[in-house]
Structure 1
């Protein structure tokens, strides 16, 4: 195994050909905290040979290299340090990023979901009841994880940051954090077991299966294929003609008409006879 090469300022005698600078803005609610800790922020960056200027009115922190800076990567770490402080991370935790063994990741979880209701539900799932899920993630990944507003900040070793990031991204994609937590627990057990050092651990790890209920689609019954058009629906008269009701109904209706006419004539005759009683006799 190759030995890790550590950076030393003595390896670089000359200053940078070009100076680098970046302005990092911070929200208004962090203004008071940064005002109280600005001297510690400046000292932490000066210890790494990085210049810093804090403008509380414009809420901007300028990070710059100077003539004493020799490490080209420390500028990126200094910018990350300032961003973490602006995201709500305490200065004690954020200062760890300035060391070579620590890395960070700031994840914007709001962009991963479509609605505010889903965002709040999955963010609460990531934190867990009484922050138990978040504490389990921090213990297993050996990272500092902060869920603040619309972002998640992670600080730790490279491997731990990648593991914690996967849990966060999967949670926002509707995979419960407990699945990855169970896998990490099994991994830690495998790491402590020397007999399984050279084995494939995939068969020992629980597999994540995302299940979703699919609604049954109604089967659409279409018209049978063919060149001939469909038969038109039969009328009521056609059905009565087939059964014979149509002709019987006509005969019965004609008889009823004749009987009604006879009754009308008889009624008229009776009325005429009644009227004759009131007529004066002929003289």
Structure 2
């Protein structure tokens, strides 16, 4: 009986799982006790330049930077003459990897990241990536438009990327600074580079949202998710397909116009008259010069003529601009208020006309009465 009770208390462990460790182990923070080698043999240092507009902010926030790096025994200097920041190890530094974290921190500060956010890079689980996008698009207008796509209207696209990837993203000039877990940095880099290659970030955001939902289902943990993910392909339409779509849109518009009682839109092109002969050849520049006589002029005469034309054009434009400027100073036509005498005369005239009309009416009445009496 006692043996039976003991067997119930001690659960049987499988032989296969006896020496197996749990994969979800906790990574302890690197402490001074973990550094068995003692102080470093050589000093390591990194420096980075920063733009002029960041100088004021860095000067104000440098005490916070020094305080954060002092906790890890890293020395830092701010050189305002050469416009650079530098970090270096000291005799007290025990973590060999923290100097690389400090290097990333000053890089982020130079790229416009705030001190409160840049300090988080010193944590073990946070990494950074500075994506250079300046050389991916040559046209400046196109580059600005595609860079704005990453931010989105009122920063909505950037916020969606940050929420889905758990990263901090800052678009600044010709670079995109990203801070977050290692796995998420790859996703953000892919989104940014695809956006600069004219693939809208919304497609990648949709993919991430679907993956997020699929990760919740334990049944699909060991299956491929390709069948669930949307496939966006570039497909160039044929001319016939384009024409068909255009006609469909026109029909829909005409149906709406007919319902509103308006005339339909017609796209009848004017008929071209066919002529077997080619069009007449346009005159060359030399031919036009020969006709006007400019071809036979001497170089000095040509120069004089060009200067005369240029001066004439300048005088015309200046006269036009002066006239446009003078329009602003022309006083508008104002109605002058009548004087007291004018008001009296007007009143007197009105009263006279009224009196004359009343006298005429009385005379007519008298005549009518006389005629009736007779």
Common fold by TM > 0.5: yes
Per-residue deviation, residues 104-147 of structure 1 (Å, max 9, x unmatched): 00111111112212211110111111111111101111111011
User: How does 1:178-193 map onto structure 2 within 5 Å?
Assistant: 178-193=202-217
Counterpart in the other structure of 2:60: 36
* Distance in structure 1 (CA, Å) of the matches to 2:234 and 2:182: 27
Structure 1 stretches (4+) deviating beyond 6 angstroms? Answer: none
Are residue 201 (structure 1) and residue 225 (structure 2) matched?
Answer: yes
Classify the secondary structure of the residue corresponding to 2:169.
strand
Following TM superposition, by how much is the alpha carbon of 1:64 offset from its aligned partner in structure 2, in angstroms? 0.3
TM-score normalized by structure 1? Answer: 0.72
User: 1-side partners of 2:56 and 2:171: how far apart?
Assistant: 20
User: Structure 2 length as normaliser, TM-score?
Assistant: 0.55
Question: What stretches of structure 1 of length at least 5 have no aligned partner?
Answer: 216-283
**Structure 2: 5+ residue stretches without partners:** 1-22, 240-374
SS at match of 1:146: strand
Matches of 1:152 and 1:85 in 2, distance apart?
Answer: 13
State the SS of the aligned residue for 2:154: helix
> Greater relative contact order: 1 or 2 (C-alpha under 8 angstroms, separation 6 or more)?
1
SS of corresponding position for 1:110: coil
Determine if contact 1:175/1:210 at 8 Å carries over to the other structure.
no
Write the distance in 1 (CA, Å) between the matches of 2:235 and 2:51: 40
Q: In the TM superposition, what are the counterparts of 1:101-112 in structure 2 within 5 Å?
A: 101-112=125-136
Residue pairs, 1:85-96, within 5 angstroms: 85-96=109-120
The alignment covers a number of residue pairs equal to 216
1:152 aligns with 2:198: no
* Correspondence for 1:53 among 77, 80, 84: 77
Separation (CA, whole Å) in 2 of partners of 1:119 and 1:164:
18
Determine if contact 1:49/1:68 at 8 Å carries over to the other structure: yes
Matched, 1:3 2:25: yes
User: Which residue of the other structure, out of 158, 164, 172, is the alignment partner of 1:140?
Assistant: 164
The structural deviation recorded for 1:41 is 0.6
Root-mean-square deviation (CA, aligned residues, Å) is 1.9
TM superposition shift of 1:29: 0.3
